[in-house]
Structure 1
Amino acid sequence: MTNREREVLKLIESNPMISQEEIASILEITRSSVAVHISNLMKKGVIMGKGYVLSKEESYICVVGGSNIDIQGYPKDSLIPGDSNPGSVKTSLGGVGRNIAENLTRLGVKTKFLSVVGDDENGKRILTHAKSIDLHMENTLVVKGESTSTYLCVLDEKRDMNVAISYMDILKNMDIDYIKKNDYIVKNSKYCIVDANLPEILEYLVTTYDVPFILDTVSASKAKKIKDLVGYFHTIKPNKMEAEVLSGIAIKNESDLKKAGQYFVDKGVKNVFITLGADGVYYKTPKIEGIVVPPTMEMVGATGAGDAFVAGLTYGLFNDKNIEDEIRFAIGASILAISSEETINPNITSSLVEKTIEKLNFKNNKIIL
């Protein structure tokens, strides 16, 4: 499909009864050109008959979030605060939403990503990479004169984050008008993932569209801004600290964990996943709850594990796995992430995740009755 055909299709998807004259006016091309593009779309089976009836598209996941360039540094020896540490620095593509979207694409799930980049080399790099892996970013907002978001972090000798600075001013351009122009992508998705970096449009999304939304809370500070919206989400994945902020419940023991889980379910959340670090993942639905504890694994890099986990959970939901298998798959995806020096393991596939799970010992799972 050509870029112009995509533009025509986008207008038809938002209004199947739109006239050729209206399309021509919006795109500033001739009506005869519109007729040719529509004829080509019909030949390709994308639209059918009068009123431009759309052919049924395969199911997909929509992700709404940020796209960054990540700069990561880590020392050769123990990190010494306030000093210059010999070590290594690498630059890669990042952003919570973008990382989740790429992981899903590599897992074989069709994914459409709504995001924003600047008209700089970093923005071009992100869009070019998306095309190379078949991640759909055709509707990305490209802002002239602004720099693409940048995330700078310093890891310690254990590859855990010590400190980070995020420059994400460009995200303010992802406003409600942008969502409205692309709302057909949200409306037609099987699930829509949003990260808490976008509180201004997050409320609009979850209160406007009847789609199962999945929340990645990102951080405790971000969770605080959206705690009143938690009941609108189908699935949430906070860590313990973020769960405390969202629920207002201090989680000091298993009883507190169950209270927090019940709080979210009472609010209307269908699937609650609270990550507990080495202690596993607590899950809660209106019918069941439990804790899945993975084996201890050697970590090569900590960044990207949470994004891979969310992608794994979404893969499980998308493919109708039961909740325990869904968590195991998500854990398998995160293990592949931490076993790679890259933020996103370039070798991750659904079959590799399944093979990874087969080698894991989940015998110590504790089921809460």
Structure 2
Amino acid sequence: MDTAQRRLKSISFHILQPENSFVHGIDSNLLLAFQKPPKSSPFPVVIGGMVLDIVAKPDTHPYPATTTPGNIEYVSGGVARNVVECMTKLGSKPFMISVVGFDMAGELLLKLWESAELPTEAFQKPPKSSPFPVVIGGMVLDIVAKPDTHPYPATTTPGNIEYVSGGVARNVVECMTKLGSKPFMISVVGFDMAGELLLKLWESAELPTEGLLKLKGISTPVVSNIFDCKGELFAGVASVHAVENFLSPDWIWKFKHYIYSAPILMVDANLHPESLEAACQIAAKYRTPVWFEPVSVTKSARIASIVDYITCASPNENELIAMANALSSQQRFSFVQRHTNTEKWLPSVQSLFDLLKPAILLLLERGIKLLIVTIGSDGVFVCFRDVADFLKDITMKNKEEVDHNRQLLKVIKKNCPHHHESFLRFVQMSSGSFAFHLPAPAASVVSLTGAGDCLVGGILSSLCSGLDIMQSAAVGVATAKEAVEAFNNVPVEISLNRIASETHKILSAAKQLMFDS
């Protein structure tokens, strides 16, 4: 603190100090100088920027409009800062005048400058039981870069960089919380700037930290995405190795009492296959339904070792095909090509369903009770088979969550139509396979990155509140609309009244799809 105060006084000497505490919206306490000079300094002075360079290196050739596995590193940068560091290593004693903020980038630059040590500890305090849903998976810091002009390769482009809390599992938990549920999350973060920021935001939302393992020496999962001027993904690199390498079966077993009492368990495919299997085995022992979130085409294949435990899954159309191929030893399923070299091909909803139907049937025949297949702006396919036992298992453990989340149940029941309920009661007790199409409502798109996660969060909250499958799926679609109209992965606020209104429209437009050829 004394060091910081000396820096503050020094920079105040060199930069005009306002009478009030803000300079063009920047708190004067953020103005820092490094190394206090004497009244007359015989050393060179450097004035300029300190920059955090986020270097994303893909493992394979990067493709546009999608993320690529790779590594993300933080490197101290900025022309002036680099010059000062170089001069210092050559024996000079330059004095630097610069500015940083009280954000994670500024904190890291300052810590590297001061060579401070980071603390170590783990959050580990599972209670005896939890009557609420459990979510296991990644907490990720999304670094979102949006250029002011069209980005060109091999050079930087002026623009804005935002830090957004992300990760499929983390987003699902935040969404469920804002819909009134009380999910419990099991995850891992490091003692780095990304981990510190994610944890601070988590605690500020008053979410439980007992399941969050905090380890020294690991990198918190980070995804760095670059968007084009239209808001579409231009390129991205995902560094999420910590979830796979350190969210271990041993850590998950510490929270078996949570899983034992939970109405449902969600796992995301970022987990190591051994961790996925451990979580599923605990759930199976206590008849807790398991929801599998595929995360990506590559990681969708991880369902192969745990399919016998999976009750529900939420793939997009490409993840669906990847899952089917991972489970099929004979038949190979082809990805649906929505684009040609010259134009975008837009099949009808029924035509798209017919193309995906063989893969859907394979997953249902392998024992999955409920498939929510997302098809972008066309909405979702809700596919299910033999769901009576699945709903019974949720209901048996669900009384406390229903009591807690009664507001969601009440507002949806009040505003939504009932014409589908008698038919739904019939199909839920039948042994056949059924499918419905729920259209996506029109939306003013701001960001698409959190839509799928909010879809899942909306469905899980609804099922746990006591709503049926169709109502829950419609709530999920309505919640996804809220997400695409917000900058953050999960909207800052989610209005239950707006959700109920959209859910009514979605259910009214639902159509049954036929599995028969």
TM class, shorter-chain normalised? 0.7 to 0.9
Match of 1:239 in 2: 316
Match of 1:313 in 2: 459
Q: Deviations over 1:93-120 (max 9, x none)?
A: 1111111111111111011110111123
**For the Cα contact (< 8 Å) 1:186–1:192, is it kept in 2?**
yes
Letter in 1 for 2:188: V
1:338 and 2:484 equivalent? Answer: yes
The change in CA–CA distance for 1:364 and 1:74 in structure 2 (over 3 A counts) is same
C-alpha distance in structure 1 between counterparts of 2:315 and 2:168, whole Å: 14
The change in CA–CA distance for 1:86 and 1:364 in structure 2 (over 3 A counts) is farther
1:124 and 2:269 equivalent? Answer: no
C-alpha distance in structure 2 between counterparts of 1:317 and 1:63, whole Å: 15
The change in CA–CA distance for 1:187 and 1:349 in structure 2 (over 3 A counts) is farther
Q: Deviations over 1:198-256 (max 9, x none)?
A: 03301222134222111110100011233342342111000000000111233654323
1:96 to 151, 168, 175: 168
**For the Cα contact (< 8 Å) 1:108–1:350, is it kept in 2?**
no
The change in CA–CA distance for 1:89 and 1:319 in structure 2 (over 3 A counts) is same
Match of 1:149 in 2: 221
SS at match of 2:202: helix
Match of 1:225 in 2: 302
The change in CA–CA distance for 1:179 and 1:66 in structure 2 (over 3 A counts) is same
**Structure 1 residue 79, shift from structure 2 partner:** 4.2
Scaled by the length of structure 2, the TM-score of the pair is 0.58
Match of 2:253 in 1: 180
Letter in 2 for 1:238: P
SS at match of 1:129: helix
Match of 1:259 in 2: 358
1:193 and 2:338 equivalent? Answer: no
C-alpha distance in structure 1 between counterparts of 2:304 and 2:231, whole Å: 30
Letter in 2 for 1:198: L
SS at match of 1:283: strand
**For the Cα contact (< 8 Å) 1:64–1:115, is it kept in 2?**
yes
Tell me whether 132-141 or 61-70 shows the greater mean CA deviation. 132-141
C-alpha distance in structure 2 between counterparts of 1:128 and 1:89, whole Å: 20
**For the Cα contact (< 8 Å) 1:93–1:126, is it kept in 2?**
yes
**Structure 1 residue 267, shift from structure 2 partner:** 0.8
**For the Cα contact (< 8 Å) 1:149–1:170, is it kept in 2?**
yes
C-alpha distance in structure 2 between counterparts of 1:71 and 1:168, whole Å: 13
**For the Cα contact (< 8 Å) 1:230–1:246, is it kept in 2?**
no
C-alpha distance in structure 2 between counterparts of 1:8 and 1:365, whole Å: 44
C-alpha distance in structure 1 between counterparts of 2:234 and 2:466, whole Å: 37
**For the Cα contact (< 8 Å) 2:470–2:507, is it kept in 1?**
no
Q: Deviations over 1:55-104 (max 9, x none)?
A: xx6x3110101112210012234444444333221012111111111111
C-alpha distance in structure 1 between counterparts of 2:148 and 2:472, whole Å: 37
Match of 2:133 in 1: 61
**Structure 1 residue 292, shift from structure 2 partner:** 1.1
SS at match of 1:243: helix
SS at match of 2:471: helix
Match of 1:163 in 2: 235
Scaled by the length of structure 1, the TM-score of the pair is 0.79
Task: Give 1 or 2 for the bigger CA radius of gyration.
Answer: 2
2:334 to 250, 274, 280: 250
Tell me whether 174-183 or 114-123 shows the greater mean CA deviation. 114-123
C-alpha distance in structure 1 between counterparts of 2:503 and 2:382, whole Å: 18
C-alpha distance in structure 2 between counterparts of 1:254 and 1:123, whole Å: 41
Tell me whether 110-119 or 206-215 shows the greater mean CA deviation. 206-215
C-alpha distance in structure 1 between counterparts of 2:455 and 2:293, whole Å: 10
Identity %: 25
**For the Cα contact (< 8 Å) 1:123–1:148, is it kept in 2?**
yes
Size of the aligned set, in residue pairs, is: 318
**For the Cα contact (< 8 Å) 1:108–1:349, is it kept in 2?**
no
Match of 2:431 in 1: none
**For the Cα contact (< 8 Å) 2:471–2:507, is it kept in 1?**
no
**Structure 1 residue 150, shift from structure 2 partner:** 1.4
Letter in 2 for 1:178: W
C-alpha distance in structure 1 between counterparts of 2:485 and 2:124, whole Å: 41
Q: List runs of 5+ in structure 2 lacking aligned partners.
A: 1-122, 326-332, 337-351, 386-426, 428-433
**Structure 1 residue 8, shift from structure 2 partner:** 7.8
1:327 and 2:404 equivalent? Answer: no
SS at match of 1:115: strand
Q: List runs of 5+ in structure 1 lacking aligned partners.
A: 1-5, 14-53
The change in CA–CA distance for 1:274 and 1:339 in structure 2 (over 3 A counts) is same
Tell me whether 184-193 or 70-79 shows the greater mean CA deviation. 70-79
